[in-house]
Amino acid sequence: MHILVTGGAGYIGSHTCVAAYAAGHTITILDNLSNSSPESLNRVEKISGRRPRLVVGDIGDRSVVRSVLDSEKFDAVIHFAGYKAVGESVAKPWEYYQNNVAGTLVLLDELRRHGVRNFIFSSSATVYGNPDPKDLPLKETAPLSALNPYGATKLWLEEIMRAMAAADPAWHFLLLRYFNPVGAHESGLMGEDPAGIPNNLMPYITQVAVGRLKELTIFGNDYPTPDGTGVRDYIHVCDLAEGHVAALAKVADLPGCTAINLGSGSGVSVAQLVASFEKAIGRPLPHRFGPRRPGDAAACYADASKALQLLGWKTKRNSDDMCRDAWNWQSKNPNGYKNA
């Protein structure tokens, strides 16, 4: 298939390019490089021996989107492009709604004008809000809510796609709800390269390990979980990438709008992840316990059975693999793609 990958130079996008090349697909990327480096595509080429065509442009720029769609025929789109930082979305809500929602509306409009209707969307477990423990593990039918503008952009886009599919049966939307993507390609050539001080757990851990940050603060050890620390469903980014390839294989057979969780199906606590990481680096990781982070859920993990049933996909890699690969990437690239 020839796939248009928006946001393909980013963290999940670049790993998905590698997995899509392994499956024999052809790739064009549309990315404005607002949160990524084109160096990630040099790394894709090193691993895959193939280099995606990169169009540097914005999904909200109609003339750019139109010229990309006029230039080639695409069988499907994987739509990663968007802003993703929860805290920043609270400070800059207009920018989040503009970029994520308004940008996607332009993209969808040009796609329907060009007759491209196989669409795989990067949604998030954030659409489950702060889940009620009785709903764990979360099925796709669990109640949805948004706790911040970032979450609202995902929820609204899902809603827009549900309505568009109901109005026009030619659409095939797969809403992939990612749980907590972490880790890196096993080569150590590609990984997560967040700008500024990371908010998320794994990049914070790796930057402490490499000496860029002093110590990890574990947010809360008094949750009603087995060891008192927060429980999440971490998913290796290469498993997630392979989930997209599985979705590409099935999207044409799934008309309408289908939400699918991409997670491992099991919960891992912060303390367990830190222990796995310490095993990977062979030394203790400086850390201390601090208060809970406002808005955090005690536990959030997927029921991953629908992905297995519909896509024939499940995760293969465990927490030890995630920590080993995240460390391999960070230790070989202490400053990410900068100075590469």
- Residues tagged active-site: 150
Tell me if 52 contacts ligand NAD by CB under 6 A.
Answer: no
Selected from 60, 149, 263, 267, the binder of ligand NAD by CB under 6 A is 60
Q: Side chain identity at 285, as an amino acid letter? A: L
| Contact criterion met (CB below 8 Å) for 184 and 237 | yes
* Binders of ligand NAD in range 4-33 (CB under 6 A): 6-7, 9-13, 30-33
x-marked contacts with ligand NAD along 78-117 as a string, rule CB under 6 A: --xxxxx--------------x---x--------------
**Alpha-carbon gap, residue 312 to 323, rounded angstroms:** 26
Tell me if 35 contacts ligand NAD by CB under 6 A.
Answer: yes
User: Tokens for 204?
Assistant: 């914070």
Phi, psi for residue 218 in degrees, rounded to 5: -85, 120
| Contact criterion met (CB below 8 Å) for 325 and 183 | yes
**Alpha-carbon gap, residue 235 to 242, rounded angstroms:** 11
x-marked contacts with ligand NAD along 184-223 as a string, rule CB under 6 A: ----------------------------------------
Q: Specify the DSSP class assigned to residue 286.
A: P
Q: Which helix (H) or strand (E) holds 26?
A: strand 26-31
Q: Which is nearer to ligand UD1, 217 or 331 (CB)?
A: 217
Tell me if 64 contacts ligand UD1 by CB under 6 A.
Answer: no
Q: List all residues 6 or more positions away from 228 whose beta carbon is below 8 Å from its beta carbon.
A: 220, 221, 222, 271
Selected from 29, 125, 208, 322, the binder of ligand UD1 by CB under 6 A is 125
Residue 270 binding partner per list ligand UD1, ligand NAD, none, with a CB distance cut-off of 5 to 8 Å that depends on partner kind = ligand UD1
Closest approach, Cβ 265 to ligand UD1, in A, equals 16
Q: Which is nearer to ligand UD1, 226 or 295 (CB)?
A: 295
Sign of CA dihedral 254, 123, 141, 167: negative
Strand 180-182 versus strand 268-269 pairing type: unpaired
The upper half-sphere exposure of residue 333, i.e. CA atoms within 13 Å in the direction of its Cβ, equals 23
Tell me if 301 contacts ligand NAD by CB under 6 A.
Answer: no
Query: Residue 285, exposed/middle/buried by CB under 10 A (0-12, 13-18, 19+)?
Result: middle
Strand 287-290 versus strand 216-219 pairing type: parallel
Selected from 34, 37, 217, 305, the binder of ligand UD1 by CB under 6 A is 217
Residue 34 binding partner per list ligand NAD, ligand UD1, none, with a CB distance cut-off of 5 to 8 Å that depends on partner kind = ligand NAD
Q: Side chain identity at 166, as an amino acid letter? A: A
Selected from 124, 207, 225, 328, the binder of ligand NAD by CB under 6 A is 124
x-marked contacts with ligand UD1 along 170-189 as a string, rule CB under 6 A: ----------x---------
Closest approach, Cβ 212 to ligand UD1, in A, equals 13
Tell me if 242 contacts ligand NAD by CB under 6 A.
Answer: no
Residue 82 binding partner per list ligand UD1, ligand NAD, none, with a CB distance cut-off of 5 to 8 Å that depends on partner kind = ligand NAD
**Taking contact as CB under 6 A, which single stretch among the options 46-54, 189-197, 238-246, 290-298 is the one that binds ligand UD1?**
290-298
Closest approach, Cβ 99 to ligand NAD, in A, equals 5
**Alpha-carbon gap, residue 311 to 139, rounded angstroms:** 16
Selected from 219, 255, 266, 275, the binder of ligand UD1 by CB under 6 A is 219
The upper half-sphere exposure of residue 109, i.e. CA atoms within 13 Å in the direction of its Cβ, equals 12
Q: Which of 230, 212, 238, 205 is nearest to 47 (CA)?
A: 238
CA dihedral 131, 314, 193, 37 (to 10 degrees): -120
Chain residues in the site for ligand UD1 (CB under 6 A): 86, 124-126, 151, 180, 199-201, 204, 216-219, 230, 232, 270, 293, 295-296
Give the binding site for ligand NAD (CB under 6 A).
6-7, 9-13, 30-36, 58-60, 80-84, 99, 103, 122, 124, 178, 181
